[in-house]
Amino acid sequence: MPCCVKVFVQMTSLGIYVQVPFCQTKCTYCNFHTGVVSSSRFAPYVSAVCREMKTYRDLYSAAGIELVPAISENATVDTVYIGGGTPSLLDPAHLKNILGTVRDSFRCDLAEVTLEADPETVEAQKASAWARAGINRVSFGVQSFSDAELAASGRIHRRADIYRALPILREAGISNIGFDLIAGLPLQTPGSWRESVDRLVELAPEHVSVYILEVDEKSRLGTELLKGGKRYSAGAVPTEDQMAEFYELAQTAFSAAGYHHYEISNWAKPGLESRHNLKYWRREAYLGFGAGAHSFSGVQRWANAHDAAGYVNAIHNGFLPVEQLERLTPEAALEEELFLGLRQLDGIDVSRIEKDYAVKLASRFDPLASSGLVEWNGPGVRLAPARLSVSNEVFVELLR
Ligand code: SF4
């Protein structure tokens, strides 16, 4: 080949998600498949996750997952998200091992490597080891600054842990820190919510997420609420209207503090939006490793089995325990474009979607625009910023 001819290989960016399904205690509102287990189970689990990564091509082929270019050699991993559960419970050597395996198994140009952490688990030595392993972003499950709410929800950390952990992380050189809050915890009042929002703004994390408590019968609190009981302070859960007010108060306070509201539940200092999570809403490819981890190749979606012990066993025996493997139909892909796209405050490009899917969409949005739930924005449409707390109404109408 003459030396002046350049070969252009199309590069696509890929996200990696690693699920760590272990916690110190079970929060009363939790409906995730996570467990409180002996720490002796961490090492075999990490070893299975690393083996899944190293052999993913063979495991996928055997499981009927197509190795499309978005998840094969042409892809460059630029984001890693280690979530859970409480992955900060793992020994830092385990996290180093996981990230080393990502680098060995994929072409990498890592821009954002996130670890979810409980503030109570943060120590100086651990934080330094996280930074040395390449973690440059920590997402804290703060949930509330009220000790009464944290205790009622079964959280292990307290307000003092948030104040103790933050400088430790900054000192370790981790400069991109996210705080999560939950609107609707038992015992939460307008005053205590205002306090949590104000204290958060004062600490100025780079990123903020606000989740509205969902009552799910798979959680202890949800079961209690559904039967009208009082355990877990179920009698003191704010009403749905109050939760919507809490959300709107946060919206106003974060915007006044200079945060960019870029997704229904997420705010960031400009330029520090979560690159990894944006892939979910933009329908870009990501591979999930570990028990219960979900993946998307652009063509197929699948998830690993939830049971951690069963997962370790399956990987040890050389097969991937895939629970749901689905090839998206054009109709399903279109629904995702609308449902995920509209979660972003910039909205969706209607003309692009009409072209890609050979559909007419304008008529579906006109009644929603007339009732003030969405607004036209040039060739696109977005949720009306003042009606975000009722965004579910829009999705119900659209998917009808
Ligand atoms: S820390 Fe998260 S995953 Fe673990 S029990 Fe609490 S809500 Fe569930």
pLDDT at residue 5 is higher than 70: no
Taking the complete model, does pTM exceed 0.85, yes or no?
A: yes
What is the reported pLDDT for 180? 98
Please tell me the distance between residue 85's alpha carbon and the centre of ligand 1 in angstroms.
Answer: 5
Cβ of 283 below 6 Å from ligand 1: no
Cβ of 150 below 6 Å from ligand 1: no
- How far apart, in Å, are the Cα atoms of 196 and each of 19, 139, 150, 181, 329? 28, 17, 12, 8, 43
Cβ of 86 below 6 Å from ligand 1: yes
Please tell me the distance between residue 155's alpha carbon and the centre of ligand 1 in angstroms.
Answer: 8
The structure tokens listed for 393 are 């109404």
Name the residue of 31, 32, 143 to mutate for ligand 1: max ligand atoms within 8 A of Cβ. Answer: 32
The C-alpha torsion from 110 through 103 and 81 to 168, rounded to 10°, is -80
Query: pLDDT digits over 212-248, tens only?
Result: 998 888 899 999 998 999 999 999 999 999 999 999 9
**Average pLDDT for 14-24:** 97
Cβ density class 359-387: b for 16+ within 10 Å, e for less: eebeebbeebeeeebbbeeeebbbbbeeb
**Average pLDDT for 16-45:** 94
The structure tokens listed for 7 are 């070969």
The structure tokens listed for 136 are 């440059």
Mean pLDDT of the chain: 93
Please tell me the distance between residue 23's alpha carbon and the centre of ligand 1 in angstroms.
Answer: 6
6: confidence class by pLDDT, cuts 50, 70, 90: very low
Please tell me the distance between residue 153's alpha carbon and the centre of ligand 1 in angstroms.
Answer: 10
DSSP state of 315: H
The structure tokens listed for 82 are 């280690």
- Cβ-contact 306, 323 below 8 angstroms: yes
Cβ of 30 below 6 Å from ligand 1: yes
41: confidence class by pLDDT, cuts 50, 70, 90: very high
Per-position DSSP letters for 60-108, written without gaps between them? HHHHT----GGGSTTEEEEEEEEEES-GGGS-HHHHHHHHHHHHHHSEE
The structure tokens listed for 343 are 């979660």
Class of domain 329-400: mainly alpha
Q: Rounded to an integer, what distance in angstroms lies between the CA atom of residue 57 and that of residue 60?
A: 5
What is the reported pLDDT for 394? 78
**Average pLDDT for 298-307:** 97
Q: Which is the closest atom of ligand 1 to the Cα of 155?
A: 6
Cβ of 27 below 6 Å from ligand 1: yes
Per-position DSSP letters for 122-148, written without gaps between them? --HHHHHHHHHHT--EEEEEEE-S-HH
Count of C-beta atoms within a 10 Å radius of residue 258: 11
Please tell me the distance between residue 84's alpha carbon and the centre of ligand 1 in angstroms.
Answer: 8
Domain limits, the chain: 12-282, 329-400
Is residue 380 classed as helix, strand or coil in its secondary structure?
strand
Q: Rounded to an integer, what distance in angstroms lies between the CA atom of residue 101 and that of residue 46?
A: 11
**Average pLDDT for 35-45:** 94
2: confidence class by pLDDT, cuts 50, 70, 90: very low
Protein residue with its CA nearest to atom 2 in ligand 1? 85
What is the reported pLDDT for 392? 77
Question: What topology is assigned to 12-282 in CATH?
Answer: pyruvate-formate lyase- activating enzyme (3.80.30)
- How far apart, in Å, are the Cα atoms of 206 and each of 138, 145, 209, 219, 241? 10, 17, 11, 30, 29
